């Protein structure tokens, strides 16, 4: 059973060592806390730490600490649980909880990961302040034994792994050293390695002599001055804390002083972490209090910064508070605010100093950051500052609002946008034609979150956001771009007016109005939303999620300057056969729907009409 468990919960066998070192470090930290009340517990052995002893000949690896140690009852309680509770209870839980990390926390599977590499584990231990030493032994098959021993350390615990076949490598110093480098940089106590001295000048001193080397100094990396930390140190800590394999795109390391004191070491990854769009929007920051790990479940950053991983270490929060109490503490609120602002300002700086790195960050996390435009009212302007967009003039993206506003056209008072789910289709949208003719830039918003924030946003730099698919879109005050000819906006000929009325009647079931368009140049027709309804893009999104109580009818706009439209108007005024104008009305609607990525209103009727039209064209 244990066999099954240790092999299914852990896939990377190396991490058994991290678990055992973490336990040793925990034991030291516990003793340190107890010694605050009773200094005699430390006696003459106050340098707390973890020691790893490699014995390649004996095929053992020993993890010892001079921490708090365990009594007989502690051993039964702490290490007997799984073996004792038996397979049934364990299996039941395993069925419920497939999440391995949860399991580890609940069952103390951490220690049992030793059986991934050991065929037998001996735990020799003596509790601080006690005379009794104990030996716990198990082969990991479910049973264990405990007996008194004189071989226990003076204080603390010694875990001896008798390595299984195929795992002898873990008795080699270089293997152990590699694992500690990869996983051990956050250990809060020093870690030493004791290994046989390398036999020099052919002198085969039979394995007696050993040497001790320090692998980790126990100073939590975030407490060190920046000057003492190499980029490699940062990277390996990042990879351990974030469980990522890439390089951090941005490393933020600072100490806040003043009303609240805390250290922050946070990383923005360069590739998106797993489950980034999980609806739980779980964060990736850990809280420490004076170097003691408290929780990784607290909401330290807002949801839209959930891709940031790292550590916040507070000097002010009391230890031993429940998670709920900490979450509501004003100190955490202040920390949350400070760290959030700092991360946003660092992103802003990055966009300035390293535009390429920033572009990659925005590409990976822009859709997440934009959630903040919707939900973090306070920091909306800061977020607008770093947000980058694709626009009709820069379809490749990377356009800031600041740049947009700096190049407004004469008399342009709004920031125009177009929402949809397909960037390419937006670029080709007929709605943009009139804007292009006047040289007006339009933001092309194709992330799902765009439709939401843009509805609520008041504006940027005093310029309101306006949808090109909503309302009348009067842009006639903006002069035409060079080379474009003025179309007669105001005076729609009597013939066209009649056509508009005719089409409106014909399409009464599908559209609320039919009018002449000032936003079209080359296309004959497009659909827009009424002045007060949701934008066309948002409406489609809501409809797709079943969130639309009743669909509003769009407005069909026809381009009075288009040859087809004027020809249809003539045809209508000539009287006679109206059928062809009727067909055209429906086909224009279907064509406008197609431009938005929608199917024809009535596919069968569409096919009939198109066939009729083709037949008459071919003659």
Residues found near Mg ion in the complex (CB under 5 A): 23, 110
User: 26 or 177: whose CB is closer to ligand ADP?
Assistant: 26
Rounded Cα–Cα distance for residues 388 and 367 (Å): 10
Instruction: Judge whether 187 and 21 are in contact, CB under 8 Å.
Output: yes
The β-bridge partners of 216 are: 191
CB of 345 to ligand ADP, least distance (A): 37
> In the structure, how many helices (H) and strands (E) does the chain have?
22, 21
CB of 19 to Mg ion, least distance (A): 5
List the single partner that 517 binds among Mg ion, ligand ADP, none, CB under 5 to 8 Å by kind.
none
CB of 113 to Mg ion, least distance (A): 9
Q: Pairing mode, if any, of strands 50-55 and 60-65? A: antiparallel
List the single partner that 27 binds among Mg ion, ligand ADP, none, CB under 5 to 8 Å by kind.
ligand ADP
* Helix axis angle, 15-35 to 173-183, nearest 10°: 70
List the single partner that 79 binds among Mg ion, ligand ADP, none, CB under 5 to 8 Å by kind.
ligand ADP
Distance of CA 169 to the CA centre of its chain: 37
User: 110 or 537: whose CB is closer to Mg ion?
Assistant: 110
List the single partner that 78 binds among ligand ADP, Mg ion, none, CB under 5 to 8 Å by kind.
ligand ADP
Binding site for ligand ADP (CB under 6 A): 19, 23-24, 26-27, 65, 67-68, 70, 78-79, 105, 108-111, 157
The β-bridge partners of 390 are: 444
CB of 281 to ligand ADP, least distance (A): 26
Among the listed residues 348, 379, 333, the one whose alpha carbon sits nearest the alpha carbon of residue 268: 348
User: 70 or 193: whose CB is closer to ligand ADP?
Assistant: 70
Residue with tokens 């071919």: 618
* Helix axis angle, 563-573 to 494-506, nearest 10°: 90
User: 23 or 239: whose CB is closer to Mg ion?
Assistant: 23
CB of 150 to ligand ADP, least distance (A): 19
List the single partner that 67 binds among Mg ion, ligand ADP, none, CB under 5 to 8 Å by kind.
ligand ADP
CB of 108 to Mg ion, least distance (A): 7
Q: How many CB atoms lie within 10 A of CB 331?
A: 17
Nearest 5 degrees, angle CA 466-CA 471-CA 475?
A: 65
**SS3 assignment, position 39:** helix
Instruction: Judge whether 50 and 24 are in contact, CB under 8 Å.
Output: yes
User: 115 or 416: whose CB is closer to ligand ADP?
Assistant: 115
User: 23 or 351: whose CB is closer to ligand ADP?
Assistant: 23
Rounded Cα–Cα distance for residues 349 and 355 (Å): 9
User: 65 or 535: whose CB is closer to ligand ADP?
Assistant: 65
Rounded Cα–Cα distance for residues 202 and 205 (Å): 9
- Residue nearest to ligand ADP according to CB distances in the complex: 110
Instruction: Judge whether 476 and 437 are in contact, CB under 8 Å.
Output: no
CB of 81 to ligand ADP, least distance (A): 8
List the single partner that 523 binds among Mg ion, ligand ADP, none, CB under 5 to 8 Å by kind.
none
- Ramachandran sector of residue 43 (left: φ over 0; alpha: ψ -120 to 50; beta: rest): left
- Residue nearest to Mg ion according to CB distances in the complex: 110
User: 68 or 339: whose CB is closer to ligand ADP?
Assistant: 68
CB of 113 to ligand ADP, least distance (A): 8
């Amino acid at each position: 059973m244990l066999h099954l468990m240790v092999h299914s919960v852990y896939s990377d066998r190396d991490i058994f060592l991290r678990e055992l070192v973490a336990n040793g470090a925990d034991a030291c930290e516990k003793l340190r806390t107890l010694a605050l009340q009773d200094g005699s517990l430390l006696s003459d052995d106050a340098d707390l730490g973890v020691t790893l002893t490699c014995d390649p000949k004996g095929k053992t690896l020993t993890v010892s600490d001079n921490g708090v140690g365990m009594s007989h009852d502690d051993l039964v309680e702490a290490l007997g649980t799984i073996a004792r509770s038996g397979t049934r209870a364990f299996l039941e839980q395993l069925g419920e909880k497939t999440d391995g990390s949860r399991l580890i926390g609940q069952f103390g599977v951490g220690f049992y990961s030793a059986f991934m590499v050991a065929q037998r584990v001996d735990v020799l231990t003596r509790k601080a302040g006690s005379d009794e030493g104990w030996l716990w032994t198990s082969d990991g098959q479910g049973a264990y034994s405990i007996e008194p021993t004189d071989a226990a350390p003076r204080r603390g615990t010694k875990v001896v792994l008798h390595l299984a076949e195929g795992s002898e490598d873990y008795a080699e110093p270089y293997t152990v050293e590699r694992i500690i480098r990869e996983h051990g940089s956050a250990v809060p106590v020093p870690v030493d390695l004791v290994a046989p001295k390398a036999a020099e000048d052919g002198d085969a001193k039979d394995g007696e002599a050993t040497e001790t080397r320090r692998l980790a100094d126990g100073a939590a990396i975030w407490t060190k001055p920046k000057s003492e930390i190499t980029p490699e140190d940062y990277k390996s800590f990042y990879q351990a804390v974030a469980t990522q394999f890439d390089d951090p795109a941005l490393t933020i390391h600072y100490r806040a002083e003043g009303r609240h004191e805390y250290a922050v070491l946070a990383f923005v990854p360069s590739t998106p972490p797993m489950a980034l769009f999980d609806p739980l929007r779980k964060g990736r920051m850990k809280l420490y209090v004076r170097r003691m790990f408290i929780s990784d479940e607290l909401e330290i950053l807002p949801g839209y910064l959930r891709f940031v991983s790292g550590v916040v270490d507070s000097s002010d929060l009391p230890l031993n508070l429940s998670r709920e109490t900490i979450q509501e503490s004003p100190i955490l609120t202040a920390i949350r605010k400070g760290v959030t602002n700092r991360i946003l300002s660092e992103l802003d700086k990055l966009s300035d100093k390293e535009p390429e790195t920033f572009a990659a960050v925005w590409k990976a996390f822009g859709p997440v950051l934009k959630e903040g435009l919707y939900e973090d009212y306070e920091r909306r302007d800061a977020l607008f500052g770093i947000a980058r967009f694709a626009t009709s003039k820069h379809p490749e993206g990377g356009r800031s609002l600041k740049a947009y506003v700096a190049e407004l056209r004469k008399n342009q008072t709004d920031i125009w946008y177009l929402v949809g789910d397909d960037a390419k289709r937006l670029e080709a949208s007929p709605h943009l034609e009139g804007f292009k003719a006047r040289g007006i830039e339009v933001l092309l918003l194709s992330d799902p979150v765009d439709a939401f924030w843009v509805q609520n946003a008041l504006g940027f730099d005093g310029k309101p956001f306006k949808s090109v698919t909503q309302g009348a879109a009067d842009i006639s005050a903006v002069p035409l771009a060079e080379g474009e000819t003025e179309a007669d906006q105001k005076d729609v000929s009597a013939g066209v007016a009649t056509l508009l009325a005719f089409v409106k009647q014909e399409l009464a079931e599908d559209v609320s109005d039919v009018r002449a368009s000032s936003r079209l140049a080359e296309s004959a027709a497009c659909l827009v939303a009424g002045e007060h309804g949701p934008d066309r893009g948002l409406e489609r999104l809501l409809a797709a999620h079943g969130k639309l109580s009743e669909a509003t009818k769009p407005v069909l706009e026809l381009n009075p300057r288009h040859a087809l439209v004027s020809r249809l108007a003539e045809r209508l005024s000539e009287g006679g056969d109206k059928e062809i104008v009727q067909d055209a009305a429906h086909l224009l609607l279907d064509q406008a729907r197609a431009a938005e990525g929608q199917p024809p209103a009535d596919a069968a009727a569409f096919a009939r009409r198109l066939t009729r039209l083709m037949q008459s064209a071919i003659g």
